[in-house]
Amino acid sequence: MKMAKTYSIAIDGPAGAGKSTIAKILAKELELIYVDTGALYRTIGYYVTRQGVDTADTEAVAAALSGLTVELKYVDGVQRVFANGEDVSDLIRTPAISMAASAVSAIPAVREFLLGIQKDMVKKGGVVMDGRDIGTVIMPDADAKLFLVASPAARAKRRYLELCAK
C-alpha cells in the first residue's frame, strides 16, 4: 500500500525501545522518507567536538552552530548525514560521539537549531521521524503518532546487541 506523499508519522519513546527499527521498516514499507533525528544530534556532537568545543559549555556550543549546516541525503538508497558538505554518517556512530550528542541535546540552542531543520523536512511531507519529543514538538499534527515502550532489560539488551554488532 502506497501512502500519500504528505503523510507523516511520528515515533517517540525512550532510548532502546526500538524507535529507529520500527521507523525504518515503516518508511520502507510505506515508501516514505525516514528521518533519523538522533543522527542530527550526533552530527552536532561530532562537529563541536571536532572544533575543540567543550560540550558542557552551552555558550560555546551555541556559538559553534552558526558555522554548521546539517543535511540528510539519500545516496544509493541509503540515508547519509552531512555536516558542512562532509559525509559524517560513519563518524557519528561511536560511543564518544554518543556521549557528545547526549550532552548537546540538552542545550536549548541546539534543540532550536535542529527544530527548523526537522520542521522543514516535515513540510516537504512523506516522512517517518523518530526521536524524543517528535510527536509533541516537531510533529504535533502528524497523521499518526506512535509511542514505543520496552522494559529496561529489553532496552539494555537491544543496546548491548547493537554495540556488539559494531
Question: Tens of pLDDT along 5-51?
Answer: 678 999 988 777 888 888 989 988 888 888 888 899 999 999 999 99
| Percentage of residues in the chain having pLDDT higher than 90 | 47
pTM value is 0.84
Please report the pLDDT score of residue 1 as a whole number.
Answer: 45
User: For residue 5, what pLDDT is reported?
Assistant: 61
Element housing 156 (H / E): helix 152-165
Of 41, 13, 26, which Cα lies nearest the Cα of 128? 26
Q: Phi first, then psi: what are they for 56, rounded to 5°? A: -85, -10
**Which residues of the chain are modeled with pLDDT < 70?**
1-5, 166
